[in-house]
Structure 1
Amino acid sequence: MRPFDDATRRNIAEACASFARLPDAAEPSALKRAAVVLALTASDEGNDTAFLLTRRASHLRAHRGQWALPGGRCDDGETPIEAALRELDEELALKLSTNEVLGQLDDYPTRSGYLITPVVVWASRSAAITPNPAEVASVHRIALDTIERGDAFDFVAIPESERRVIRFHHDMSLIHAPTAALIYQFREVLAGRQTRVTELEQPVFAWT
């Protein structure tokens, strides 16, 4: 168990600082930049640390109804951290400053043409969360204990790719990459492991 307190915040910040992110590519990428947030807060029971996971609204044009971390495309001239904090505010009315950023994980290239930067942030116990119905159907607090279970993730083969598809088992649902890959790398960072996830595959339905 990881209690939601200052000691846990320090431990996670140290784990993120010890993680050696892959360097940005030297050449400009054709992929569009995006950012997502691993926002850490108190669990539903209030005594454990959790991260926020959303269910996308059913009327959205892309990836409707899917599980996702808060986030979206970077605006022109915007850094991934700036985009992550803006999207967190727009989707969940959760206003955080750069002082709450604990670190970043590896950029993840998606089949649909995005390069996603995961940003880890700390939200205080008193932080109010109000889902924006234009973008978010529901928001869920996933205790870190959940992703640290041995059976939380699995890897399967598909005929369309030589790469393994990663799946996160949550609440009778299967959550796939990119979301599952980013959560998996965060789990590995918490354990002090330098695990890469860029080669973990997405299911075919997420390729467009």
Structure 2
Amino acid sequence: MHDRTVAPAQQLARLVESPAPGRWGWSALPRATEGEHRRLRPSAVLVLAAPSGDGDLAFLLVQRSRRMHHHPGELSFPGGGIDPGEGPVEAALRECREETGLIVPPQHVLGTLPALHVRVSGNVVTPVLAWSPHEVHEHGPAEARDLESDAVGWFSRHRLAHPDRRVMVADGKGFTGPGFLTDGGVIWGFTGNVLDWILRETGWERPWDGGRTHRISP
């Protein structure tokens, strides 16, 4: 049972305390092994949520540049490679600032989730979960700030959880996973799996048709 009287920040904070075994990580996005941590490029993404009014909240996403070699044009969390001397938190906050112009204080970070092996790009990616107490409109305009991003936007939890927006995405290369149909495009892959997991584990998910498939061009 999920306690719906608990504030969203507390619900999100619980996710990083002890991810349930078997619930975090997927066949196409498995938890990274120690060997993969040593061999593969370390990266981090910032999973930032903030209140958006009317009891709702929103997640910050960027649209990757269509010039990028990996995942061009896709909606994703701000993030990128971890530089020497950085940890996942420092890298995620820096990448968010560089990609969106938003400065997220370290004290807004709730914690990290176990790193996942993103096989298509050869990265080990650590999600850094953060909550801003300031409403979305108080953050000022978020906008694409570097060559890796074409657009930036906040995506409503209520809209993401609406059954009409929920699909299973198939990419024609063997990947099938949860996705979201939005006005800005389709959220799928790593980002879709993480958002789906957050909605489910917090109890924010609404019943939806898992047999509904949305196919995208490989």
TM-score, normalising length from structure 2? Answer: 0.71
Q: How does 1:170-181 map to 2 (within 5 A)?
A: 170-171=182-183, 173-181=185-193
The counterpart of 1:81, out of the listed 68, 89, 92, is: 89
Q: Is the 8 A contact 2:102 2:139 kept in 1?
A: yes
Cα distance in 2 between the residues matched to 1:185 and 1:112: 21
> Could you say which residue in structure 2 is the equivalent of 1:31?
40
Q: Does 1:144 align with 2:157?
A: yes
Query: CA offset at residue 156 of structure 1?
Result: 5.2
Q: Is the 8 A contact 2:98 2:146 kept in 1?
A: no
Q: Distance in 1 between matches of 2:34 and 2:149?
A: 35
Structure 1 residue runs of 5 or longer lacking an equivalent are: 1-5, 194-202
Q: Which residue does the alignment assign to 1:188?
A: 200
Q: Tell me how large the CA RMSD over aligned residues is.
A: 3.1
**Paired AA for residue 135 in structure 1:** E
Aligned equivalent of 2:139: 127
Amino acid at match of 2:151: S
Q: Distance in 2 between matches of 1:56 and 1:26?
A: 29
Q: How far is 1:64 from its partner? A: 3.3
Shift of 1:46: 6.7
Q: How many residues align?
A: 189
Structure 2 distance, partners of 1:88, 1:42, is 18
Q: Which moved more, 1:165-174 or 1:64-73?
A: 165-174
Q: Which amino acid aligns with 1:149?
A: H
Deviations 1:8-39 (A, max 9, x none): 32332234435347676333532211111111
Q: CA deviation at 1:192?
A: 8.8
User: Which residue pairs with 2:166 in the alignment?
Assistant: 153
Q: TM-score of the superposition, structure 1-length normalised?
A: 0.74
Partner of 1:14: 14
Preserved contact between residue 16 and residue 189 of structure 1 (Cα < 8 Å): no
SS in 2 for 1:17: coil
Q: Is the 8 A contact 2:177 2:192 kept in 1?
A: no
Check conservation: 1:16, 1:104, Cα contact below 8 A. Answer: yes
Kindly state the Cα deviation for residue 101 of structure 1 after the two structures are TM-superposed: 0.9
Distance 1:117 1:107 in 2: 4
> Contact (CA 8 Å) 1:104, 1:117: kept in 2 or not?
yes
Is 1:113 the counterpart of 2:122? The answer is yes
